[in-house]
Amino acid sequence: MKWIFLAAVLASVPASAQSIYKCRDAKGGAVYQSQPCPDAEKRWDTQPRDYTCDDHYRRQAAEASIQRDRREVRQRNAAQQPVSVGIGTGGRRASGASIPSVTTSYQSARDRRDAHYKRMGNNRTFAGSRAFDQSVWDACN
């Protein structure tokens, strides 16, 4: 109902730059008016924006520039960081250097988690699984 009233008010406003204010009357109901009230909740400006095709093309060019910059930063960061090792790498980095062995705290946390999962089977709780996964994560970082 209030949107119909708001649309009617907006339609009746002349084309000159005006504002519509949402105020409260004595009973607490919403009142829309063109005159400002002391405690206006919301204000709508009815003046159209001056947005041209040139602005659109400038914005597109700026967004393309930002995307290029992001891509360059990602490529630069990827070149500086060692390649992560996954399955099938044979324990070697891309540079040929061998990978240090897994830390014992990480391995023991994984072993505890795996033993818990094997012991509990499908009867494990989410909270318990989350706690063991978090302990492995903490040991890894």
- In 10 A of CB 62, how many CB atoms? 10
- Using one digit for the tens of pLDDT, what is the confidence trace for 12-61? 555 555 778 888 888 888 888 888 887 766 776 666 667 778 888 888 99
93-119: string of b/e by CB count within 10 Å (b at 16+)?
eeeeeeeeeeeeebeebbeebeeeeee
Alpha-carbon distance 103 to 83, whole Å? 19
Which residue, among 14, 54, 57, 51, has the nearest Cα to 34 in the 3D structure? 14
- Using one digit for the tens of pLDDT, what is the confidence trace for 126-138? 888 888 888 888 8
Is residue 21 within a helix (H) or strand (E), and if so which, with residue range?
Answer: strand 19-24
Q: What is the pLDDT of residue 61?
A: 92
How sure is the predictor about 91, in pLDDT bands with cuts at 50, 70 and 90?
very low
**pTM value > 0.75:** no
Q: What is the pLDDT of residue 50?
A: 73
- Max intra-chain CA distance, the chain: 79
Domain ranges of the chain: 104-140
E-state strands within 25-89: 30-33, 42-45
Alpha-carbon distance 49 to 64, whole Å? 24
Distances from the Cα of 108 to the Cα of 112, 115, 127, 129, angstroms: 6, 10, 20, 16
